[in-house]
Amino acid sequence: MNSEQREQAEREQASRVLPPAAYSDPAPGRTEARRRHLLSEIDQQTRARSARRPRRRMVLVLGAAMAAGATVVVLSLGSGTTGAPYNAPPASAASVQVLERAALAARATSQTKVLDGQYAYVKTVGHTSVLSETKSGQMELLRQDEGMEQWTSVDGSEPTLQRKAGKDNLLPDAPGNLNSPTYNFLAALPTDPHALLKHIRDDAERNHGAGSDSTTGPDQEAFVTIGDLLRNGVTPPATAAALYRAAALIPGVDVAPEAVDAAGRRGVAVARVHDGERTEWIFDTSTARLLGERTVLVKDSAWGKAGDVVTSVALVSSGIVAEAGQTP
């Protein structure tokens, strides 16, 4: 199968898993034109980075903690163990089509009037995996509940309230950046996909590029960061559309035709494989709305067997509310 036949097969695959949308679909040739443009941008970025090829790094165990005589390692969404392959292929035609559908759906969403002093609310359900080494030296894989409700001040003027298992906590980090975004921060991000990806990737390069102690790599970190921003739950429509289109610029992005979120909802996933793990963003096949995110093993490891879902988070509810503690 040559490249043109492969791309046609990918487009047909995307069409099967995503039926015609209720909103306007791209004009004929628009998706293909966008894909050609994205491939050109990726090619230019690859040539520009060729002189500073990142090196492989030592394995880093994430989130190690000592508690009651046990070593506990928590696997977060999108985490990996060593740097991703440098020469990843461009985003597949199927993933570009799914992401463009998601961008169009996001852009068609009604703009909510948001005022300073209000809060962005999001409710999620899900789990992460915890690998525990007991005093006897035995390794035990546990599932940790990640269900929560969260209220983030839209202008960052108040601390974020997080509710887990009925207990309220104020988060210590000041919101208003890529790691802890507010609604106003998201609204101020560039809405041009190329400028937006540059902003995100520059941060990823500083913290996860060559010379850093990170084991993730800037491409995977950019993909994870975009997923985190989208899972924020309340994102301005223009910003959400730009985030989806920026993701289509990242090498290695592909489609998983079948996926199930933490709430049991089935959909199609846009995915990226990194070091034996596949990070998936799951979309509703009818509306192209983001349902959630999960991490699936693609090879056997200490975290489980290939095919095991080691982390999964589903968006259940979101909206803008007047006060922390309120729900839409």
Q: Is the pLDDT of residue 235 over 90?
A: yes
Q: Is the pLDDT of residue 60 over 80?
A: no
Confidence at 86, pLDDT banded by 50, 70, 90:
low
- Supply 106's token pair: 């996001």
Confidence at 132, pLDDT banded by 50, 70, 90:
confident
Mean pLDDT value across residues 49-64: 27
Mean pLDDT value across residues 125-130: 94
312 neighbors 319 (Cβ within 8 angstroms): no
Distance separating alpha carbons of residues 12 and 247, to the nearest angstrom: 21
Q: What is the pLDDT of residue 138?
A: 79
17 neighbors 268 (Cβ within 8 angstroms): yes
Q: How far is CA 280 from CA 13, 105, 180, in A?
A: 17, 19, 21
**DSSP assignments along 109-138, one per residue:** SPPPP--TT-EEEEEEEEEEEEEEE-TTS-
Encoded amino acid at 287, one letter: T
> SS3 helix, strand, coil % of the chain, rounded to 5?
30, 30, 40
Mean pLDDT value across residues 42-50: 37
Distance separating alpha carbons of residues 302 and 141, to the nearest angstrom: 8
Mean pLDDT value across residues 258-286: 97
296 neighbors 310 (Cβ within 8 angstroms): yes
Q: Is the pLDDT of residue 73 over 50?
A: no
Q: Is the pLDDT of residue 216 over 60?
A: yes
Q: What is the pLDDT of residue 98?
A: 98
pLDDT tens-place string over residues 282-293 = 999 999 999 999
What percent of the chain shows pLDDT beyond 70?
A: 71
Confidence at 239, pLDDT banded by 50, 70, 90:
very high
Q: Which helix (H) or strand (E) holds 111?
A: none
**DSSP assignments along 60-87, one per residue:** --TT-EEETTEEEEEEPTT--SSPPPSS
94 neighbors 66 (Cβ within 8 angstroms): no
Mean pLDDT value across residues 111-118: 92
Task: State whether residue 297 is helix, strand or coil.
Answer: strand
Least confident range from 14-28, 107-121, 242-256, 301-315: namely 14-28
Query: To which residue do tokens 């491409």 refer?
Result: 219
Q: What is the pLDDT of residue 217?
A: 82
Q: What is the pLDDT of residue 317?
A: 97
Q: Say which residue, 73 or 13, is predicted with more confidence.
A: 13
Q: What is the pLDDT of residue 47?
A: 36
pLDDT tens-place string over residues 140-184 = 888 999 999 999 999 999 999 999 999 999 998 777 999 999 999
Q: Is the pLDDT of residue 46 over 90?
A: no
Q: Please list, residue by residue across 62-98, b when 16 or more beta carbons sit within 10 angstroms of its beta carbon and e when fewer do.
A: eeeeeeeeeebbbbebbbbbebbeeebebbbbbbbbb
Confidence at 139, pLDDT banded by 50, 70, 90:
confident
pTM of the model: 0.77
Mean pLDDT, the chain, rounded, equals: 80
Mean pLDDT value across residues 255-279: 96
